[in-house]
Structure formats: C-alpha cells, structure tokens
Amino acid sequence: MNGLAQKIRTLDRAVFGAIFGLKWPPLTSMMRALTVAGTAGATWGFIAAGAFLLTGLELWRLLVPWSAIVISWLVAEGTKHLFDRARPYVSDTAIAPLIKTPSSSSFPSGHSATAAAGSVALAVVYPAFALILLIGGCLTALSRVYLGVHYPVDVLAGFCIGILAALGALAVSGALA
C-alpha cells in the first residue's frame, strides 16, 4: 500500500475509533432510529410523499427526490460489489456494533447515499426546510459510523454518490435552472 493510501486508511480508522467511542444512551437511541428509518432511503421517500400531498400535488416535487434516492441506492449497492470492503466489525472482532449487522460490503454506505440524495433534493425543492433536511441527512450518515457498521470513508463516498444523484435529478427536472 503506498504512503498516501496508508495515511488515509490510518486516518479513517482513527476517526472511526473516535466516533464509535462516543457512547451516550440518548444519542445511541437517536442514531439507531435514524439508521432504521433511513433504510433504503425510506425517511426521505416518506418526507417527499408527505410534502407532495401537503403542497399542491406538483408531481415534480415527488419525482425529483424519489429519482435521486433510487439512483443513489442503485449506484451505491452496485459499487459495493466492485470494492467488497470488510465492515469494521469484520476487520476487528473487538468492535461490537450497536445494531443488527448488515452482510453487504462496507464501501460505499448505501444509507449515506440515500440520505444525501434525499436531503439535498428535498432541500432544493423545499428551501424553507433546507437546514433541517440537510442536518437530518448528515446525522443519518454519521449514524452509520457511530453504530459501528461503516468507516468514515464509506460514509463520505456514499454521501458524494447521493449529492451527485440529487444534482443529476434536479438538473434533469430543470429545478436548478
């Protein structure tokens, strides 16, 4: 492994250790809830559906976030097969995850991809709620490290996939014009 890759790996594991080492029961409960609700982008899909029903039934306001979520999930899940990175608790048996352990590859994080896609798309479609949506997306992504099922680089990669999927869906819809 070359020098830069080794430094990134060392930093990734150090940041993982720092975040995973933060244990506070109220925070753990919140992180678990965010992860469960965020499975396959469900949180963001339901928010999009609810907002669509409450704000005038403009179809693009539903389809843009849903498209971004689906695209990000497909890309993240497909990419997992290319990298097949072991999850933290597989690489280090001393790590005891705080949730049921996924069996798929760790890189990239699908939860982070759909959280970024949903929160960014919804933030653009509903700018009055942008701050809370983006905070929710970031916390959902962070929950994956906190709970011990992803390294930070997995989450960062997933988040980048989600942002790109959101920007793509927004561009195709003309919402960025």
pLDDT at 92: 85
Residue 173 is encoded by which pair of tokens?
A: 């819809």
pLDDT at 1: 59
Per-residue pLDDT of 22-80, as tens digits, reads 999 999 999 999 999 999 899 999 999 999 999 989 999 999 999 999 999 999 999 99
Residue 139 above 80 pLDDT?
yes
129 vs 103, more confident = 129
Contact partners, residue 73, CB within 8 Å, separation at least 6: 40, 41, 110, 113, 114, 117
- pTM value? 0.93
The answer to whether 114 touches 73, Cβ cutoff 8 Å, is yes
Which alpha helices (DSSP H) does the chain contain, by range?
3-20, 25-37, 42-54, 59-83, 88-91, 110-125, 130-146, 152-173
Per-residue pLDDT of 107-130, as tens digits, reads 999 999 999 999 999 999 999 999
Per-residue pLDDT of 88-100, as tens digits, reads 999 888 889 999 9
The answer to whether 145 touches 151, Cβ cutoff 8 Å, is yes
Residues shown for the chain: 177
2 vs 113, more confident = 113
Spatial distance between the Cα atoms of 17 and 14, rounded to a whole number of angstroms: 5
Per-residue pLDDT of 60-73, as tens digits, reads 999 999 999 999 99
pLDDT at 156: 97
Spatial distance between the Cα atoms of 36 and 131, rounded to a whole number of angstroms: 22
Spatial distance between the Cα atoms of 42 and 20, rounded to a whole number of angstroms: 24
The answer to whether 140 touches 110, Cβ cutoff 8 Å, is no
pLDDT at 177: 60
Q: Taking all residues of the chain, what is their mean pLDDT, rounded to a whole number?
A: 94
Q: First CA to last CA across the chain, in angstroms?
A: 44
pLDDT at 134: 98
- The candidate with the shortest Cα–Cα distance to 109, out of 146, 145, 67, 139, is 145
Residue 36 is encoded by which pair of tokens?
A: 């469960």
Domains and CATH numbers, the chain: 3-173 (1.20.144.10)
